[in-house]
Amino acid sequence: MTKKYKIQGLECPNCARALEEQLNTGKYIKSAKIEFVKSTLEIKSDDDQKAVEEAIKIAKQVEPDAKIVVDNNKSNKSKNGVLLDVCLLLLGLVLAIITLTVKMPTWLYWTMFVSSALLMGYKTYYRALKLLLKGTINENFLVTLSVIGATLVGEHCDGLMVVGLYTIGKILESAALNKSKKSIEELTNIKPEFAYLVNENNEEIKVDPSEIKIGDTIIVKAGEKVAVDGVVISRNVTLNTQSLTGESLPVSVSEGDEVLSGSIVLDGVLYIKATKEYKNSTVSKILNLIENASDKKAKTETVISKIARWYTLGIILLAIGVWGIVWAVTQNLNTAIYRGLIFLVISCPCAFAISVPLSYFSGIGNASRKGILVKGSNYLDVLTKIKAVDFDKTGTLTTGEFEIVNVIQKGEYKKEEIVYFACLGEQYSNHPLAKGITRNCTQKLPILEKIKEIAGEGVYFEYNNNKYFVGRKQKDLQKTMVEVYENDILIGIIELCDEIKESTKPCIKDLKAMGIKTIMLSGDNESVVKDVAKEVGLDEAYGKLLPEDKYKFIENQKKQKVVMAYVGDGINDAPSLTLADVGISMGLNGSEASIEASDIVIANDNPQKIVEAIKISKFTRKIVWQNIILSAVTKLTFLTLGTLGITGMLSAVIADVGVTLLAILNSLRVLRYNEK
């Protein structure tokens, strides 16, 4: 059984990772996963009560400030804790100023000095001691050691200012992180909280979306969210689908149109017949994809996380080395200790540990807002290296909605009769060509008893004592055609075509401008494939390909070390989507197999979103490296200056806090990035 809880008090992703590792060693906890940005803890266990009690106990030992909220009604108490921290900090600062500026007896001086240091940094010292007893040292230990060391060498002002500025920095970091968390959570705030079910007596009953069954009728009023996917059965209304597809323009729907859960009714009242249960509806798919996005981390994020485990210990050893070198050169113990302490202060890993994962999560959040659902930050990284994009044709580059453009008569039957015979068999098929044919039927079709559909071939059926076949027997037809046979005699050929999507040409143009090769792999005949390729400007196009042929083509690309993405929407695309470096499925209403096999899901059928995804990934990567370089250069500069005695401890702590805040604010640029 899996349960999710809110978790408060975690200061950085590194803290979350350390706690997650310890939770996974629990006796009653099968597995634990912490979402730092969303402040949630997911626990899988056989006994919920024992597991959460064990989790609370481990949290107190590893992260004293971490609080697992079992009762959601108590989750707002953290605001009071922040207010108390600010008040104690201000009181400590006032005492520090008085202590350092007013002459007083020695006993009073030390009383006020110690009181000031405790008020400003009691949490830091407590965390350092708690974790030290568990055999763990982190930035809290570095700061505590710096305060004690500065006091011992007579730099009392620096000691107090270090802990004061560090605490101010942590409060500001927390505020910046909470703002970013709130921004990201707003992107996923699409879950409908309720639905109005219309019962047999035509009464409206307020229910949880999970209670709605397929075939139920629900009513959605202006300002409310559609609870489940369904079909409009009355009323014409306008919907806001921006949170699902990223498209800002309202969408008008009328009777017979499909509507997606999470859409917001802008005007009027909408009656819908449910076609899916909530767990299988669009909004549920989106939330699952977003919630699991942090499972697969980018290589940069993973490396930073691994380094953070040994970083603090390494810094302490280096600080001892600096102390030894300075002592050997200056022959002054106090000077050596002081410069070693500067090394400790400036080396806190917060800037790296917070900004890198925050940048990636912001990138995933921004993409989600635009209707691009990325299953992990590692795929954002791979997108930046893409050199080729392989496209399926039908439903990907084209609309997938076929229209009859010509009917070729091969006997005495009229064109209308040939189409009618085709409709008789195709009415039971879900194939795109079948839907294109039956869309043109205006007559009521009889129910057939003897009918059989063979995948990749067509439909066999009997009607008025005659045997019919609708499908394709001739393999050398040059266009998209469906043959109609009566008693094994060809009576007509129906020619169809599907339109190229409006956004296909701009997508191909933009990809080529980025230096990315564009290729089409289609099961359609060569003639149609070449026509489409020429019209949209593809670099290469191949037709008459079976799913295994596409798979082999991608295998060959990978052997040639070509980093590539495959874009498709059908069940037969699943193997290719899985094999590609990045599999991109088109549309949340596409096949479950393709959505499951893909790494990125485009919520609507817009190929231009692929270009947006690549641009977001490149901007995210750019911000990640900006933060890494900014933090590294700043720290190395002040390490050098501090070691040489040019700057003091105050400069070091200001630089450390400042670069962390800058890195966090820079990460938030990813969340607001817009290619336009």
Enumerate the active-site residues: 392
Query: What are the structure tokens assigned to 370, written together?
Result: 């635009």
Sign of the CA dihedral with 583 first, then 584, 586, and 589 last? positive
CB 356 within 8 A of CB 319: no
DSSP states of 45-70 as a string? ES-HHHHHHHHHHHHHHH-TT-EEES
* 390: phi then psi, degrees, rounded to nearest 5: -100, 130
CB 522 within 8 Å of CB 541? yes
Residue 637 identity: T
Q: What are the counts of helices (DSSP H) followed by strands (DSSP E) for the chain?
A: 21, 26
- State how far the Cα of 496 lies from the Cα of 575, in Å rounded to an integer: 28
377 vs 359: CA distance, rounded Å: 10
Measuring CA to CA, how many Å separate 158 from each of 104, 485, 651?
Answer: 19, 93, 10
CA pair distance 201, 263, nearest whole angstrom: 27
Packed helices 13-23 and 299-330: angle between N→C axes, nearest 10 degrees: 110
What is the distance between the alpha carbons of residues 312 and 141, in angstroms, rounded to a whole number? Answer: 9
Q: Is the dihedral of CA 113, 117, 119, 125 positive or negative?
A: negative
Amino acid occupying residue 190: I
Backbone phi, psi, residue 149, to 5°: -65, -45
